[in-house]
């Protein structure tokens, strides 16, 4: 059963008001991929090298959750472009980890801490406690790991370095690819020949990302008929280093802004090709007519025409985080838009399918929803809302910001939610010429005359 739609009830009444210019131009950077960074940080936790250095373009709340876990084992030094760590002499006996609303930390750290000789108590937001993890915990328990857990609560883990099995079986229909990635990332603690048995899992591009990260540091998993077999491991190393590329999920909002009106944007810190599945948006927006140019230090995007949006059908099974971005594009042109492969949207920071249906319907679209798709019909009567609620979801907030290129004024609630993945998002929009003001909710609505 999908989690219920959680109302937008953050403390305070702060909102942000957006007014986009006719022509958007400028240079900006996207943050480094939190998905990649958090996979490397999980490997650091399990390998326990003497020292490490990870370079990235800015941090965010999700990365900070992992850093707060690692600081129990390492003396950390943050610098403008990354973090260095030096291992402490002694392991703590017990620790507490606040997961906040970070889904990857929930899955990756639950698995990782079960293989370290430490007692760990987890906490987090009520929404995070609803998100899928039970199949992973059951698999770890079957491997002899001591984990106490009840649904809709957070686990308590008494870790140990031993495992009673070389076969880990994930059963049932999985609702998150991170359940698979969490086991793959245990490679430093597993023996060669270990098998992960899994049949069906969503968002396979994220599992491929995990395999690519592991391969970069010398761990090779081979696909087999039952799932994955650990084929080889690297020699023990005393220092680890990596540089994390820019986040394509974050870049999606900039591509959408460029495709919906005349624009000229250069995005630094973005690689193409990339092993991030969301880099597929490059081809999607090119197909709409957006001019995209690959440079050694980023991507240039250009639109000399105006609104390029036409009705489309897109499969988001490999790239579910792009679904909100694609969905709001339906406002810009009358017609029918089909988004498929949305099985996991109900289990994100919000029930994204339900949120998109509710808000797009309020705007004036007709939306048909089933378990894995949204059919959005723009019949030409779209109207703005007094304010756009974001339901505690960073991707919903950033997607609704795109509407500033359609409506004269867009008011978005709880702008701080973007700190989860893209803390500089509003600053980047200002750099590109978007007029942004922060105020209280009632004042913004009155000024916008909505």
pLDDT per residue rounded down to tens, the chain (450 residues): 343 343 444 444 689 999 999 999 999 999 999 999 999 999 999 999 999 999 999 899 999 999 999 999 999 999 999 999 999 999 899 999 999 999 999 999 999 999 999 999 999 999 999 999 999 999 999 999 999 999 999 999 999 998 889 999 999 899 999 999 999 999 999 999 999 999 999 999 999 999 999 999 999 999 999 999 999 999 999 999 999 999 999 999 999 999 999 999 999 999 999 999 999 999 999 999 999 999 999 999 999 999 999 999 999 999 999 999 999 999 999 999 999 999 999 999 999 999 999 999 999 999 999 989 999 999 998 999 999 999 999 999 999 999 999 999 999 999 999 999 999 999 999 999 999 998 876 565 555 554
Instruction: Report pLDDT for 424.
Output: 97
pLDDT at 10: 41
Strands 313-315 and 82-87: unpaired
pLDDT, residue 162, reads 87
159, 119 Cβ separation under 8 angstroms: yes
Residue 398's closest CA among 427, 371, 374?
427
Alpha-helical (H) ranges within 89-203 are: 103-113, 126-130, 134-142, 178-184
Class of domain 14-31+247-448: alpha beta
Instruction: Tell me which H or E stretch contains 323.
Output: helix 323-328
Q: Tokens 């030096």 identify what position?
A: 86
Contacts of 4 (CB under 8 A, 6+ apart): 351
Prior bond to 187 cis, omega within 30?
Answer: no
Intrachain domains 14-31+247-448 and 34-233 with the same fold: yes
- The domain ranges of the chain are 14-31+247-448, 34-233
Cα separation values, 90 from 53, 66, 74, 157, 448, Å: 20, 19, 10, 19, 58
Closest CA to 343 of 377, 372, 320, 322: 372
Question: Given this model, what pLDDT does residue 3 score?
Answer: 38
Q: What's the pLDDT at 1?
A: 39
| β-strand partners of 158 | 119, 146
CA dist., res. 373 & res. 314, Å (int):
10
Query: Do 414 and 9 contact (CB within 8 A), yes or no?
Result: no
What pTM, to 2 d.p., does this model score?
0.94
Give the pLDDT of residue 343: 96
Q: Is 87 exposed, middle or buried (0-12, 13-18, 19+ CB in 10 A)?
A: middle
Per-residue pLDDT at 434:
98
| Cα gap 236→6, rounded to integer Å | 46
What pLDDT does 371 receive? 87
Q: Rg for the chain (alpha carbons), in Å? A: 22
28 has which bridge partners?
A: 267
CATH fold, domain 34-233, is UDP-n-acetylglucosamine1-carboxyvinyl-transferase; Chain (3.65.10)
- Angle 19-264-385 from CA coordinates, rounded to 5°: 25
Q: How many CA atoms lie within 13 A of 444 on its CB side?
A: 23
First to last CA, the chain: 37
């Amino acid at each position: 059963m999908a989690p219920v739609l959680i109302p937008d009830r953050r403390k305070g009444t702060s909102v942000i008001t957006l007014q986009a210019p006719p022509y958007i131009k400028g240079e900006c950077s996207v943050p480094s991929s939190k998905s990649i960074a958090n996979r490397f940080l999980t490997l650091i936790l399990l390998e326990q090298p003497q020292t490490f250095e990870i370079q990235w373009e800015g941090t965010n709340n999700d990365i900070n959750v992992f850093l707060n876990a690692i600081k129990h084992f390492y003396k950390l030094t943050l610098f403008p472009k990354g973090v260095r760590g030096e291992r402490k002499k002694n392991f703590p006996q017990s620790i507490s980890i606040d997961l906040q609303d970070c889904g990857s930390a929930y899955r990756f750290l639950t698995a990782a801490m079960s293989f370290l000789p430490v007692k760990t108590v987890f906490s987090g937001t009520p929404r995070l406690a609803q998100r899928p993890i039970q199949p992973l915990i059951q698999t770890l328990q079957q491997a002899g790991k001591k984990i106490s857990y009840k649904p809709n609560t957070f686990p308590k883990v008494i870790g140990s370095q031993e495992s009673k099995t070389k076969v880990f079986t994930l059963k049932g229909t999985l609702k998150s690819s991170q359940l698979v990635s969490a086991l793959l990332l245990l490679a430093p603690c597993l023996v060669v020949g270990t098998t992960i048995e899994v049949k069906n899992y969503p968002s396979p591009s994220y599992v491929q990302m995990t395999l690519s990260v592991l391969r970069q540091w010398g761990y090779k998993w081979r696909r087999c008929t039952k799932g994955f077999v650990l084929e080889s491991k690297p020699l023990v190393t005393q220092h680890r280093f990596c540089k994390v590329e820019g986040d394509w999920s974050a870049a999606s909002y900039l591509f959408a802004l460029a495709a919906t009106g005349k624009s000229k944007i250069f995005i630094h810190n973005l690689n193409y090709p990339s092993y991030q599945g969301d880099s597929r948006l490059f081809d999607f927006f090119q197909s709409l007519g957006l001019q995209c140019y690959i440079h050694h230090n980023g991507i240039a995007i250009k639109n000399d025409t105006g609104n390029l949006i036409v009705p489309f059908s897109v499969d988001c099974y490999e790239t579910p985080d792009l679904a909100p971005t694609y969905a709001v594009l339906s406002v810009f042109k009358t017609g029918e838009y089909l988004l498929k492969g949305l099985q996991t949207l109900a289990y994100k920071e919000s029930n994204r399918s339900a949120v998109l249906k509710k808000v797009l319907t309020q705007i004036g679209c007709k939306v048909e929803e089933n378990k894995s798709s949204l059919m959005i019909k723009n019949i030409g009567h779209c109207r703005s809302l007094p304010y756009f609620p974001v339901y505690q979801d960073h991707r919903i907030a950033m997607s609704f910001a795109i509407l500033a290129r359609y409506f004269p004024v867009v008011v978005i609630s709880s702008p701080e939610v973007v700190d989860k993945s893209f803390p500089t998002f509003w600053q980047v929009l200002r750099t590109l010429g978007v007029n942004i003001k922060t105020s209280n909710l009632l004042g913004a609505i009155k000024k916008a005359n909505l």
